[in-house]
Structure 1
Amino acid sequence: MTRSATARAVIILAATPLVLTTASCSSPPVSAPSPVPASARPDTLDLPAETRALLADAERATLRNCMSRQGFSFFYDRTDPAELRAETARNNSELYLDDVPRARRDGFSPAPDVPARPASRAEGQEQAYLAGLSRQRRDAWDKALMGPPGQERIKVVVPGVGTMEHPTAGCFAEARTRLFGDYEKWARADTFVNARFRPVEEAVRKRPEYKEATVRWSTCLQARGRHFATPEEARARASTFPRDQAIALAVATAECDRQVGRSKMHRSLYEQATQHWIDRHPTEVADFRRLNAEAAARLAATN
């Protein structure tokens, strides 16, 4: 993955699970692709898809302008809110394993760690563009985008997750600074909020109510002649079955889930764990809400 592909992926991470793995150029204000809907205010941890798309496209436009001033091209596709909503639904699928109609239609449906989507039009353009640059020009392109090696970086230590780093130089840093103002504060807040999924889910899985509900689910399946301790085991086995058999197993697991209330319990515990996480990180949560809301409002006002 190229550095801009990495940047492109990071841009739309707001309110989706985060996977581990400012020198400023002057430019005119970024115009918003579209105004933020009145009903799509980023006042929760889950930014509305329309707001996420608005911020992502504005950031990419700034990246393109900055790179252009330095003699380089930068490619991006407009963000489709429908794709973001579908992504969120996939990421939340583990909370809705009691969805019997979905099981009948899609089986277990894609797991949260499904393979990356095929390259987009912009990614294809970028690959062709970079392939045509000399090694020296490509290195210069990287530095223009993400700053030089050895630069001071914003380091955010997230307990239980790890250390995330953000560049402080290059067009990527400029885009974040222009969009959110206090880039360092935004980077810390955004990193914390997007890294919450792992500790929240781990907290849920430690709860005795969750474990007891999973045992009830397993017992229900055993009565149907299917022996799995967890939904993950059932999904893994289903992946080896023909489609009709995989669908049948998914339906059986969903029906048992609904019968014993496992996912209902999961959702309740997840909400509690999320609120507990919010209570432990009030500064980051407040900054995340405020800085995203202010950025969206500025973009809407300039449209």
Structure 2
Amino acid sequence: MIALCLLVVGGCSRGPAHRGDDPLPAPFDGAAVASPEQERFLHESEERAVAACMRQRGLSYREVPAGRAVAENPYGLLTETQAARNGYGLTADLLAGPPDDPNAELLARLDPEGRAAWRAALTGTGKDERTLSAPDSPDLRINTDGCVYLGRMALYGSEWEQAALTVAGLTTRVIDQVLADPGFRSAQRRWADCMRANGEQFATLQDARGAIQNAAHDAGGDRVALQAVGRRELRLAERDAACQRQSDLPEAVRTAQKRVEAALPASSRRQAAELADLRKRALGPDPTGHRREPSAPKRPATMPRGGR
């Protein structure tokens, strides 16, 4: 957000709430997504669990800070406040550059054998690999003996990986059917007409966002060019969000989504609710406060000591 705010005179300010800032629809009431605030909290909790697991194995680990989080709607919908603050949330990360690896210095002090052992402890040896499957989702391979997996399991529970993969497939199915819905397509044509009236030639929501992605790719590491893309992103996203509201696109999505989800078996809604419950338990009673740190999984310290 800060990087994009610097691109416009006067910086960013909080806009008043209005119709365009009503909660946007997402499959299963957003069961597959977390808010930026929740994402940060969960990331920090997971990193603490990973660090505890590494300490249990006699290895040092510096927690990786949470990156910049921007609310992203699975349909590409935007509120006008989001658009004014962050655009599509694409250029600011490129301007900020990749975050420093807090463990780089630690690894540099290890010999090759020590680095290999450290990485195996963190991500797994490959000896205890499992493959998870779910309809409409790509297979997911996980190393169950690495602290990344064990830390996540300590936070969310052992059911999380399969539940998340299953709901990701269900979400994909809902989105595909909503995007093919005649009511949505009609609203998207009204959106395209509105955009054209504002000098923007795009047929779909994905086309508008894709134009910024392509421009950012073409800019490469040229900061001046990226800043120009950022300014273009803000202007385009604001027009996009305004046209979404004027064409009643969020309501068209909401109506189509309700119809699609109603046709799914009850088990689908139950699986989505179970995933949301797992996240809720991981967040604890106060997602902004001081939740008790997840304990490290009880695993023997089998890896050689490294780091400090």
TM-score, structure 2 length as denominator? Answer: 0.61
RCO higher in structure (CA 8 A, sep ≥6): 2
> Residues 188 and 204 of structure 2 are in contact (CA less than 8 Å); yes or no, is this contact kept in structure 1?
yes
Residue in structure 2 matched with residue 130 of structure 1 by the alignment: 107
Per-residue deviation at 1:127?
1.9
Instruction: Identify if the C-alpha distance between structure 1 residues 116 and 137 changes in structure 2 by more than 3 Å, giving closer, same or farther.
Output: farther
More displaced, 186-195 or 199-208? 186-195
Rounded to whole Å, the distance in 2 between the matches of 1:170 and 1:93 is 34
1:179 maps to 2:155: yes
Aligned to 1:215: 189
- Which residue does the alignment assign to 1:74? 61
Shift of 1:55: 4.1
- CA-to-partner distance for each residue in 1:104-128, whole Å, 9 max, x for gaps? x4685335997596444xx522122
Measured in 1, the distance between the counterparts of 2:232 and 2:273 equals 48
Distance 1:199 1:292, change over 3 A: same
Are 2:63 and 1:90 equivalent residues in the alignment? Answer: no
Structure 2 portions without partners, runs of 5+: 1-25, 216-227, 295-308
Task: Kindly indicate whether residue 119 of structure 2 is the aligned counterpart of residue 142 of structure 1.
Answer: yes
Letter in 2 for 1:265: A
User: Residue 201 of structure 1: CA displacement?
Assistant: 2.2
Question: The residue matched to 2:88 in structure 1 has which SS?
Answer: coil
Q: Distance in 2 between matches of 1:301 and 1:132?
A: 33
Instruction: Give me the whole-angstrom Cα distance separating, in 2, the residues matched to 1:55 and 1:162.
Output: 24
Residue of structure 1 equivalent to 2:166? 192
TM-score by length of 1: 0.62
Alignment partners' CA distance in 2, 1:274 and 1:116: 39
| 202 and 92 in structure 1: CA distance in 2 versus 1, 3 angstrom threshold | closer
Q: Which runs of 5+ in 1 are unaligned?
A: 1-16, 18-42
Kindly indicate whether the alpha-carbon contact (under 8 Å) linking 1:91 and 1:112 is maintained by their aligned counterparts in 2.
no
Alpha-carbon separation, structure 2, partners of 1:79 and 1:245: 27
Where does structure 1 differ by over 6 angstroms across 4 or more consecutive aligned residues?
Answer: 241-246
Work out the percentage of aligned pairs sharing the same amino acid: 22
The offset of 1:228, in angstroms, is 3.0
Describe the superposition over 1:207-237 as per-residue Cα deviations: whole angstroms up to 9, x where unpaired.
1111111222233444556543223434555
**Structure with greater proportional helix content:** 1
Cα displacement (A) at 1:279: 3.8
